Amino acid sequence: MMRSRFLGVGMYVPEKVWSNDDLRSMMDTSDEWIQQRTGIKQRHWAAANQTTSDLALIAAENALKKSGVKKSEIDLLILATLSPDHEFPGSACFLQAKLGMPGIPALDIRQQCSGFIYSVSIADQFIRTGMYKKVLVVGAEVHSRGLDRTTRGRDVAVLFGDGAGAVVMGPVPSSEVSKGTQSQILSTHLHADGNYAKELWIQAPGLAYPTENRVDPGAFERGEHFPKMNGKTVFMHAVRRMPEAINEALDQNGLKLDQVDLFLFHQANLRINEMVAKQMGIPEEKVFNTIDRFANTTAATIPIGMAEAEKAGKLKPGMLVASAAFGSGFTWASMIFRW
């Protein structure tokens, strides 16, 4: 049976760094308040002329270079984002034009924090069936221009950064799949529960908004165009669903927790990842976090983590890696792969 693997990973974050102290000029907060609640020390925010597809472009080019795969070899482009350049068309099309890769299919995946694993799962299935051989998967976000950067919105605003991560995926020769040590994606697992959709969402604008016109000035006055989050509910579900998803992946592959060399979790809040690791009995040295430097970059957190872990020498060829994410929707997902 055909399987897929990661051929290369790349990332990009904007140059401008905003420390926790920098946010004090915008809202009533402090470095101590933010670090105690989230583990975040700083974040990168995009320049005024940078879009999500701009960040995605640099990450994608870095991944292509690392993989040794030419643009002309890519059969499918997938972009995971909750911060598209425009409402339509999909930002994958804008990214495709900037990459100079016309003609191939380009998909937007709108699964927020779980978007990268969802995208990898889709790419994995296309490669397994033989429909496509080389797939470029990108997670990219520009959150900064959509945040309420006042005291009213600080509980959400301090959490998010801008950035992009990308991977190139390709097939594993059938003759090498059974060896077990060959780089490959073992399995992906996707879930959602829309009953909690309004616990972490942006209400307006939208076609479901109860007004004749899609844009209601009153909604902007009330701040309904900014993200809203029930933090306690999100935390409670995240620390339950992420371990479930990891255990599901382990069980399907007949693996035990101690066989995993590295855990790459979505970077929403360091306290969530610490709780997940504690509940599962995962040693601290096996969990690689980036949230202190980049904050929550949503669909980009896991590929950024992969790139940073490889750079730091924490992610090495042959390692067995488990990854999980949880976010708006609610959606959650996991994957196990050998690097």
Asked if 119 and 137 count as a contact pair (C-beta separation under 8 A), the reply is yes
Sign of the alpha-carbon torsion through 51, 52, 55, 61: negative
Length of the chain: 339
Three-state secondary structure call for residue 275: helix
Nearest to 322 by CA among 270, 250, 239: 250
Omega of the bond leading into 205 within 30 degrees of 0 (cis): yes
Rounded-to-5 percentages of helix, strand, coil across the chain? 40, 25, 35
Nearest to 335 by CA among 192, 193, 185: 185
Q: In what order do the strands lie in the sheet with 106-109?
A: 3-12, 163-172, 135-141, 76-80, 106-109
Token look-up 């950024």 returns 304
Sign of the alpha-carbon torsion through 318, 300, 91, 96: negative
Distance, CA of 69 to chain centre: 23
Three-state secondary structure call for residue 163: strand
Longest CA pairwise span in the chain (Å): 62
Catalytically active residues are 113, 266, 296
CA distance 189 to 326: 12
> In 10 A of CB 208, how many CB atoms?
8
Task: Find all residues with CB under 8 Å of 66, minimum gap 6, and list them.
Answer: 8, 9, 10, 168
